[in-house]
Amino acid sequence: MKKEKILVIGASGQIGVELTLALRKIYGGAQVIASDLREENELLKGTGPYVSLDVMNKEMLHVQVIRQGVTQIYLLAAILSATGEKNPPLAWNLNMQSLLNVLDIAKEEKLSKVYWPSSIAVFGPTSPKDACPQHTIIEPSTVYGISKFAGEFWCNYFHQRFGVDVRSIRYPGLISYKSAPGGGTTDYAIEIFHAAKLGKMYPCFLKADTHLPMMYMPDAIRATIELMEAPAERIKVRTSYNLSSMSFSPQEIHQEIKKHLPDFQISYQPDYRQHIADSWPKSIDDAPARNDWGWKHEYDLSKMTAEMLKNIG
Active-site positions read 144
Q: Which does 114 bind (CB under 5 to 8 A by kind): ligand AKB, ligand NAD, none?
A: none
**Nearest in space to 294 (alpha carbons), one of 246, 238, 231:** 231
- Using CB under 6 A, which residues numbered 104 to 143 contact ligand NAD? 117, 119
- Using CB under 6 A, which residues numbered 160 to 179 contact ligand AKB? 173
Contact pick of 74, 171, 248, 295 for ligand NAD (by CB under 6 A): 171
Stretch that binds ligand AKB, among 19-27, 115-123, 253-261, 295-303 (CB under 6 A): 115-123
Alpha helices (H) along the chain: 14-27, 58-68, 81-86, 88-108, 143-162, 188-198, 217-229, 250-258, 273-279, 287-293, 301-311
CA–CA distances in Å: residue 112 to residues 3, 14, 17, 19, 138: 11, 25, 22, 18, 30
Residue among 43 and 56 whose Cβ is closer to ligand NAD: 56
CA–CA distances in Å: residue 223 to residues 157, 166, 249: 23, 15, 23
Q: Which does 36 bind (CB under 5 to 8 A by kind): ligand AKB, ligand NAD, none?
A: ligand NAD
Residue among 37 and 96 whose Cβ is closer to ligand NAD: 37
Q: Is 184 in the site for ligand AKB (CB under 6 A)?
A: yes
The CA distance from 142 to 124, in Å, is 8
Residue among 78 and 143 whose Cβ is closer to ligand NAD: 78
Q: Binding marks (x or -) toward ligand AKB, 69..98, rule CB under 6 A?
A: -----------xx-----------------
Q: Is 55 in the site for ligand NAD (CB under 6 A)?
A: yes
Contact pick of 12, 20, 72, 101 for ligand NAD (by CB under 6 A): 12
Classify 88 as helix, strand or coil.
Answer: helix
**Nearest in space to 166 (alpha carbons), one of 212, 122, 210, 112:** 112
| Structure letter (DSSP) for residue 126 | T
Residue among 79 and 257 whose Cβ is closer to ligand NAD: 79
Is residue 113 within 8 Å of residue 228, measured between CB atoms?
yes
By beta-carbon distance, which residue lies closest to ligand AKB?
A: 184
Residue among 231 and 312 whose Cβ is closer to ligand NAD: 312
- Using CB under 6 A, which residues numbered 60 to 99 contact ligand NAD? 76-78, 80, 94
**Nearest in space to 164 (alpha carbons), one of 99, 97, 96, 67:** 99
Q: Is 210 in the site for ligand NAD (CB under 6 A)?
A: no
